[in-house]
Structure 1
Amino acid sequence: MLALSPGARAALPYALTYAGLYGAIGIYLPYFPVWLESRGFTAEQIGLVVALPAWLRIVTTPALAGLADRSGRPRRLMLILAAGAFGCFLGLGFIESLVFIAVFQGIGALLHQPQLPIQESLAIQASKRPLEAGGFDYGRARLWGSVAFVLANLGGGWLLTGRPTELILAAFVSLIGLTALAMLALPPDRGPDAARSGRWRLPWTLLAERRFLLFCIAGATLQGTHGFYYAFGSLAWLGEGLSEGQIGWLWAIGVIAEMLLFWHGGRLLARFGAYRLLGLGAVAGLVRWPLMALTADPLLLVPIQMLHGLTFAASHLGAMRHIADTVAPERAATAQALYATITGSLGIGSVMFLSGRLYDGLGADGYFVMALLSAAAIVPIVLLARLRRAPTARRP
C-alpha cells in the first residue's frame, strides 16, 4: 500500500475537492451547450442560458461566500450548495419544458459557482499551518484541479463520440455528487467565534480598502490578458493552417505548464513571494502575447505555450498568497469570491466580449493589445508591493 507523507495526507481531501469542482467545470464549459442543443435550444438561447448565471454571480457568489465567513461553517455551506446543485442538474434529466430547463440550470450554476472560492479560502488557510498541524503545499493540492479539468475535457469528447448526448449530463451530475463526498473528508468546521461577532458588513465593502481594490485591479488585468486567447486562440490558429489535433496539443501543453508550476509552487512562493510572482506573470505576458501574434509555427508555439505556467499559474499563486497574508481568516471566503468574480466576470469576461471586435479588426494582432494589458498590470502590482508593510486587513 502506498504510504503518504503527512503533508500529502492533509492535502488529499482538498485535492479531491479541487478535482471534483474543476472536473465538473471541464465537462460543463465545452459540452453542456451540446446537451442544451440536443434538447432543442437555439444558439441564441444557449448563449443566454449559459451567460445569465455568469452575470448573476457578480451578486450571488460574494453574498454566499460572505455567509460562509459570517457563519463560521464554510464546509457545511459548501455541502448544502453542492446538494442543491446536484438536485437541480439531476432534475434536468426529467424535465421537458425549455423554460424549466433554463431555470433549473441557472439555479444549479449559481449554487455551484460559490463553492470554488469557499474551497480556495479553506485550502489557503489550511496550507498555512505547520506540517505537524495539518499544513501542506497549496500548489500541489490545487494542481489536481487542473489535471481533472483536462481529463474531463478529454473524457467528455470521448463520451460524445458515437454515444448519446445524455451521457454528458450524467457525467456532470456524477462529478457534482462525487465532489460532495470529497467535501465530507475536509476537516470539520470550527464554528462561529468571537472574531465574527459584531455588525455584519456587505461583502463588497472590502473593495473600499485601497490595498484590496488595487489587488483586484491587478488580478483582473493579469487574468484578463487571457481573454483573447480563450475566445479566439483556436480560431486564429485554424486560420493560420494548424490542424485541430495540433491545436488540442498546444492547449494541453499550456495546462501541463500550469500543473508543473503548481507542483513547485511552495518553493516558488518561498523564494519570490506574492508580488514578485504577480510581476513575473505580467512580464511573461509581455513576452508571450506578442509572440503569439507573430508566429503560428507549431514548434515555436510549444515554448510560447509553456509561458502559460507563468501568465496564469504564477499570477494565481501570487494572488492566493496575497489574500492569505493580508485578509483575516474570517473574511477569507468573501475575499476569494470577490477576487474570482472580478477577475472572471469583469476581467476575463469583459476582454472576451471585446475580443470579437479585436479579432474582426486585427486578427491575431489582437494579442498585442493583451501585451499592453500585461504592461498595465505592472502599475497596481508595484503599488501593492509598496504597501506590503501596511497592517493586515482586519474586520472592524
Structure 2
Amino acid sequence: MKPSSSARPELPWLRAFTFTIFGTSVLVSSYFPKFYAGLGFSSSQIGILYALGPMISLVANLLWSIASDKYRTIKKIMLILLIGEIILCTVLSASTSFSVVVLVITIFYFFYYPVFPLSDTIAINAAQRYNKSFITVRIFGSIGYAFFALVIGYVLSFVGSSHTMTVMIAIAAAALLITLFIKDQASPVAKMDLSGIWGILKQKELLWFFGCVFSLGIAVRMNDAFLTVTLNELGASEKIIGWSQFASSVSEIPIFLLLSLYGEKIKELPLLVFASLAFAARFLLVGIADSAVAIVAIQMLHSLSFGVFYVTAIRMLTRLIPDEYRATGMALYTIVWSSASGLLSGTLGGVVFEEFGRQNFYFTAMSFAMLACLGFASRYFFRGPRMLPNQVPAGTAATETKPAMEESAG
C-alpha cells in the first residue's frame, strides 16, 4: 500500500533534522578540542578526552537501542538524548577543572553518540516507505556539516571559543524543536547477535579486512582528534578551522554519489588500496604543511580518502558477511573502525603529539595508513579478489547501512 501524500512532509522534516544535527558533529569533532585548549589542557589531556568518546559509544549505542526497542519508540528516545546534551553542555560551559570536564564529557558522550544511528534509522525507514533512496536524506547531513563548519567558524571568531558550548546548546535546541515534528516509529535497530560472532570470526578474509580497517582507523582517528589542535598551533582562527571542515565535507558529496552509482564496476580491494594511499598522502602533506591555508587545501583529499573508503568498505562488508550475521558483523565493524581505533588513537596520539611534535605525529598516522594499504594490496595480489559464497548483490545501497558506522566527516 502506497503511503498517502499527506504524509510526505515527514521527509522534509527528516532532512531538516539531519541537516541540523550534523552541526553538533562539527562542534564535537572540530571545536571541542579548541575549547579544551582554551582551558589550558595539554595535548595528552585532549587526547584522553577524545578517547573517552569511542569508549562510551560502545555502551551507549547498545543501551539506548535496547531502550528504543523495549519502549517501541525512537522519537521519545531522541528527545531524551537531545535534552541530555543540552543539560550537559550547560554544565560543561561552567567547568574548568580537567577532572570535572572528564566526568561531564563522559556523561555527555553517553547522550551524544546514539543520536546518529537512531536518526539514520528513522530516515532509512521513512525513505523506504516512500520508495526514496536514503541518500536523498543522508546527503543533507554532509550539506549541514559543510554549512555549520563555516557558520560556526565565523560565529566563534566573533564571540570567542569560550562560547563553544553556547553554540552547541543553540544547535541542539534547534534539533530538539525539529524532532517534535518528526513522525515516531518503533525502532528496528538490529541487536548484536552474540551467537553469530564466532561464525563471523572464522572467516579469515573478514579478519584480514578488519585488521586493515583497524590500522587505517587509528590513522584517521589520530587526524580527527588533532587536526584542530594542529590548525591552532599554526595560528588558525575559528574561520580557518571552519573552512577546513567545509572543504572536507563538500568534497565527499560527489564521491558518495558517483560511487553509489558506478562504484560496483570496480573491485573493492583496488579501491581500498587507493583510498589508503590517499589517506597516507593526506597525512604526509598535513605533517609537512607550514600554514593553515595549506591544510585547508589538503582537506579536499577527504573525497579521495574517506569518500572512497567509506562507500567501498560498506560494499565489501555486504559481500563478506552472511545475511544471518549482518547485524553482528556491522556492529563488530563499528567497534573496529570507530570505537577501538578511536580509543587507542586518542591515548597514543596525544602522547606522540606532545612528546614528538606535529610532524612526527602525522608521519605516525601516515605509517598506519600505509600498513593498511599494504594489507589490502597483499590480499589483492597474493590471494586475488574473489567472490564469496555469502555475498549479496553488488547493488546493495551503501548508504542504507550507515547507522552501523556513524563517523565523523572530518
Same fold (TM over 0.5): yes
2:370 equivalent in structure 1: 371
Does 1:210 pair with 2:200? yes
* Equivalence map 1:172-187=2 (5 Å): 172-187=168-183
- Structure 2 counterpart SS, 1:161: helix
* Greater alpha carbon shift after TM alignment, 359-368 vs 13-22: 359-368
Letter in 2 for 1:285: S
For residues 114 and 216 of structure 1, do their structure 2 counterparts lie closer, same or farther at Cα, with a shift above 3 Å needed? farther
Does 1:189 pair with 2:180? no
* Equivalence map 1:83-122=2 (5 Å): 83-93=83-93, 102-122=102-122
Q: Tell me how far 1:116 sits from its aligned partner.
A: 1.2
Structure 1 contact 236–364 (Cα < 8 Å) conserved: no
1:283 equivalent in structure 2: 274
Q: Tell me how far 1:113 sits from its aligned partner.
A: 0.9
Structure 2 contact 51–346 (Cα < 8 Å) conserved: no
RMSD of aligned alpha carbons: 5.0
1:346 equivalent in structure 2: 340
Q: TM-score, normalised by structure 1?
A: 0.69
Q: Tell me how far 1:171 sits from its aligned partner.
A: 1.2
Q: TM-score, normalised by structure 2?
A: 0.67
* Equivalence map 1:28-67=2 (5 Å): 28-35=28-35, 42-43=41-42, 48-67=48-67
2: distance between equivalents of 1:160 and 1:183?
26
Does 1:269 pair with 2:265? no
Q: Tell me how far 1:374 sits from its aligned partner.
A: 2.6
Q: Tell me how far 1:107 sits from its aligned partner.
A: 1.3
1: distance between equivalents of 2:316 and 2:216?
15
1: distance between equivalents of 2:390 and 2:182?
32
Structure 1 contact 69–331 (Cα < 8 Å) conserved: no
* Greater alpha carbon shift after TM alignment, 137-146 vs 299-308: 299-308
Q: Tell me how far 1:376 sits from its aligned partner.
A: 1.8
2: distance between equivalents of 1:7 and 1:100?
46
Does 1:136 pair with 2:126? no
2: distance between equivalents of 1:141 and 1:220?
29
Percent sequence identity over matched residues? 20
Q: Structure 1: which 5+ runs fail to align? A: none
* Greater alpha carbon shift after TM alignment, 204-213 vs 116-125: 204-213
How many residues were matched structurally? 372
1:255 to 243, 246, 249: 249
Structure 2 contact 58–339 (Cα < 8 Å) conserved: yes
Does 1:145 pair with 2:144? no
* Equivalence map 1:322-333=2 (5 Å): none
Output one character per residue of 1:175-200: Cα deviation in whole Å (capped at 9) or x when no partner: 112222333344421468xx99xxxx
2:388 to 379, 383, 386: 386
Output one character per residue of 1:146-167: Cα deviation in whole Å (capped at 9) or x when no partner: 3333333333332333525553
Q: Structure 2: which 5+ runs fail to align? A: 397-410
1: distance between equivalents of 2:9 and 2:340?
36
2: distance between equivalents of 1:330 and 1:368?
32
1:15 equivalent in structure 2: 15
2: distance between equivalents of 1:278 and 1:184?
43
Q: Tell me how far 1:23 sits from its aligned partner.
A: 0.7
Does 1:171 pair with 2:203? no
Structure 1 contact 274–319 (Cα < 8 Å) conserved: no
For residues 222 and 122 of structure 1, do their structure 2 counterparts lie closer, same or farther at Cα, with a shift above 3 Å needed? farther
For residues 323 and 7 of structure 1, do their structure 2 counterparts lie closer, same or farther at Cα, with a shift above 3 Å needed? farther
Structure 2 contact 90–169 (Cα < 8 Å) conserved: yes
